[in-house]
Amino acid sequence: MWKPKIKGAAKIMAEETEKMIIATKQLFYAMEVHKLLHFTNPDMSAVSFAMTIHGLMDYELDQSNGKCSYETDNSLLDDYLKWFCEENAV
């Protein structure tokens, strides 16, 4: 009974992740054309960026919903975005 629901949910998650990666690739190609950022490999940069942002957002959500017994850095997402833009600056 659970397996069809889990497979259906997994399919939706995979499809939405693919849409996110495609949109990020389109954004990065546009940024390259307009000379806002430069990427040696825009496709892999987009995959890496999209999955890192997704993971950091999940991590922050887990932190806010869980009871962490240790102090955590809540600025990882901001720090990553700053680093990424500096790393790929034109």
Write out pLDDT tens, residues 17-76: 999 999 999 999 999 999 999 999 999 999 999 999 999 998 888 888 876 655 556 689
Q: Is residue 3 scored above 80 in pLDDT?
A: no
Amino acid at 3: K
Specify the pLDDT at position 50: 96
Q: What pLDDT shows up at residue 63?
A: 83
With 0-12 CB in 10 A as exposed, 13-18 as middle and 19+ as buried, what is 54? middle
Supply the pLDDT for residue 36: 97
**From CA 81, how far away is CA 39, in angstroms rounded?**
15
